[in-house]
Chain A
């Protein structure tokens, strides 16, 4: 009996070779990241070490001169501090509010669908558009919030909030800083709430039932059963919110442009001011590169957390 040798097709060879197939499947994503993240990052590094300007794109090496130049300016120092203050403050508030909302949405109540739509709207709205809305709400002269405060007797002569008819939210140091945090919270609470809601709904109901049979209250069940179980998910939500706030340009650009004085200046805004408005591309790139180490740490933490979720 003769045995006929069947030669496997090239496609079969390819599909059986996991390493080759894996590499091929990953290639588009890798190319995408290299082109849209890796290349700009390399260009930024090259810019920051050169004397490039908006009108002269030739790269003459100047070492770390741009970094030295930007670090000693008060605007930069304030921008670094503010970037961390805004990120930390907004993140803490977001976590609390997102937890409350997520728990709320696990309950059944009338009008839940409407509440869900309203909560998700800020996330669905483009950041620039939403922030423009806030710019109008917080306007020095035409703020509807001021109007309401005046009407209910909280603002105006002989009232709790002072004699003026306007609070000048964006013209006072702490109110302006608070306004920036507020807008970040407004736009990112929905994202975090949805992520946490996904975590809460994935908890095995038997665990909750057991805790309730053992007499645990709703709060205790949440704090001691649910929260520990969704901690990895919460870490993901926090890291995403952290990155989105830390690198954001739009909110400060639209709301305060870094003012009053430098009180709301952040790294992204200062980088734009120097690089684009001031024509000093090299210094703008140097400022932007200060994001890199922080974002690198955040990325590593995200990946480690995701892996932990996969393992558990």
Chain B
């Protein structure tokens, strides 16, 4: 190596070292959690759990196969369990059963492309009510009714995310839903006078402001065009007694309750958050909480499960709370996501019957699914997992205290669904995808529009979307073009 090249090499290494040095995150300015116990995490190895109901499976002709496309689960153990579970069912029933795991956005894209092409996978699992696909998928009324007959009532959050009343069709089969509790920094909130975390939105504002003023640590309720922000905005509106549509699918976002909720979000942003919430990604709240730089987020338990594995002491400091209560006592939050299988219309014959049989088999074994998701998934049919209450009261995955997740036992009482109190119809799906709610709140928070103006702007867009789907016969209700709070 020539002397000149040696200098270049040394220079490059020095530059690399400088860059790596600069990549160290700044020291978070927060109170450190005092850990007095010995740090030790004991995560039990997932075990086979008892199968509560045997499902009769018909015989399939030779050569029958099913191919499933579903998301790569946030909890890797779920996929590790699911793949051989599917294969074993296929082997036992003479069906060649295969699965492809893809990223979350690719599930919808795969379904769209398959329906358009008229060929593709047997089933696609999507995470949000795929009601816009209702005309391109099989009617699953029979399998839904069969499941209800076997296991009783289905969680309302699931039923309303797989049935479309406008066309009286079960377009999907929802086998699970994921609770979306609050995750908070216990030490910070205890210090602010809330040892059990905030219970109401007012608590969140007052406690969050106190924490930010004292420690500089903000709240993390997203106001960005992404999933968590869309969920958070809806939870606030519902807890203030408002909604996007009523139970008859009329647009009712132009209500004083929604204006009040938007005003509250502006107050919350200005007192307890920073502009980072406008740059939120689905990973932001997880990252912020794990780094100790957010005092409160709304999310599933997946971030906490990750933290348990990488920093058990910090995980001990995470507390969980139910949906926050609004000024008139309303309490509601959307499920985080749902596990909803749909079968495109091109799937017929033995392949269709095999797919339906597998759906029932999966539901019958929901306790394995819940356990292997490390209690991330909750069952659509509560009777299929009688162990659930015991698990959340004594977390088999090492929570300290053991009953940290106990609040999830009654999560069904405060968990609703996109479209609540009406069905999750295609219009609510498009409103969700277009991020109209977080943008409405964001405009008021930044002072671009008053709360009433922001609501009226959103009302005009939402009304337009609803009317379009009404024209297609997929949404009920009647047009109400004038904004009632303008």
Contacts and interface: CB of A to CB of B under 8 A. Distances in A.
A141 B276 contact: yes
A164 B12 CA distance: 33
Interface string B107-135: 01101100110000000000000101111
Given A54-B132, A55-B137, A141-B293, A278 B430 contact: yes
B288 A141 contact: yes
A54 B224 CA distance: 25
B275 A171 contact: yes
A261 B287 contact: no
Contact of B115 (A55, A141, A144): A55
Contacts, number: 149
A140 B132 CA distance: 35
Contacts of B446: 260-261
B426 interface: yes
B457 interface: yes
A54 B22 CA distance: 46
B109 to A, nearest CB: 7
Given A141-B288, A273-B435, A280-B465, 11 more contacts: A55-B115, A55-B132, A56-B135, A75-B434, A114-B8, A171-B275, A171-B277, A172-B278, A257-B281, A259-B278, A260-B223
A278 to B, nearest CB: 4
Contact of A73 (B12, B135, B461): B461
Interface in A44-85: 51, 53-57, 69, 72-75
Contacts of A150: 26
A154 interface: no
B277 A53 contact: no
A169 B26 CA distance: 16
Contacts of A53: 132, 135, 426, 472
Given A140-B279, A172-B275, A257-B226, A147 B25 contact: yes
A170 B279 contact: yes
Contacts of B279: 140, 168-171, 176, 256, 259-260
Contacts of B293: 141
B284 interface: yes
Given A55-B134, A172-B278, A279 B430 contact: yes
B275 A276 contact: no
Contacts of A74: 457, 461
Contacts of A114: 8, 12
B276 A166 contact: yes
B274 interface: yes
A172 to B, nearest CB: 5
B224 A168 contact: no
Contacts of B291: 141-142
Interface in B3-26: 4, 8, 12, 19, 22-26
Nearest to A254: B281
Contacts of B426: 53, 55, 279
A114 B8 CA distance: 8
Interface in A129-175: 135, 140-142, 144, 146-148, 150, 164-166, 168-172
B224 A111 contact: no
28 contacts: A51-B472, A54-B132, A54-B136, A55-B134, A55-B136, A55-B137, A55-B426, A56-B135, A57-B136, A73-B464, A111-B8, A135-B281, A140-B275, A144-B19, A148-B22, A166-B274, A171-B277, A172-B278, A176-B278, A257-B226, A257-B281, A258-B225, A259-B280, A261-B278, A262-B439, A279-B133, A279-B430, A280-B465
A245 B371 CA distance: 47
Contact of A146 (B26, B429, B461): B26
A206 to B, nearest CB: 33
Give the 4 A-B CB pairs with smallest separation, nearest first: A260-B278, A279-B132, A55-B133, A277-B433
A277 B446 CA distance: 26
Interface in A205-261: 256-261
B370 to A, nearest CB: 29
A165 B8 CA distance: 35
B242 interface: no
A155 to B, nearest CB: 10
A135 B136 CA distance: 37
A55 B19 CA distance: 48
Interface size of A as a range: 35 or more
A201 B226 CA distance: 48
B430 A260 contact: no
Contacts of A172: 275, 278
Interface size of B as a range: 35 or more
A110 interface: yes
B327 to A, nearest CB: 26
A20 B105 CA distance: 48
A278 B133 CA distance: 11
A74 B439 CA distance: 11
Given A55-B132, A168-B276, A171-B274, A147 B26 contact: yes
Contact of B29 (A135, A147, A165): A165
Interface in B413-433: 426, 429-430, 432-433
Interface in B421-460: 426, 429-430, 432-435, 439, 442-443, 446, 448, 457
Contact of B433 (A57, A69, A169, A273): A273
B450 to A, nearest CB: 15
Nearest to B135: A56
Interface in B208-265: 223-226
B15 to A, nearest CB: 10
Nearest to B291: A141
Nearest to A256: B279
Nearest to A62: B471
Nearest to A253: B105
A55 B135 contact: yes
A311 B251 CA distance: 63
B468 interface: yes
Nearest to A53: B132
Nearest to A54: B112
Nearest to A55: B133
Interface string A171-185: 110001000000000
A256 B115 CA distance: 30
A261 B136 contact: no
Contacts of B8: 111, 114
A175 to B, nearest CB: 9
Given A148-B22, A259-B225, A168 B275 contact: yes
A83 B172 CA distance: 38
Contacts of B433: 273-274, 276-279
A279 B461 contact: no
A273 B132 CA distance: 14
A142 B224 contact: no
B442 A276 contact: no
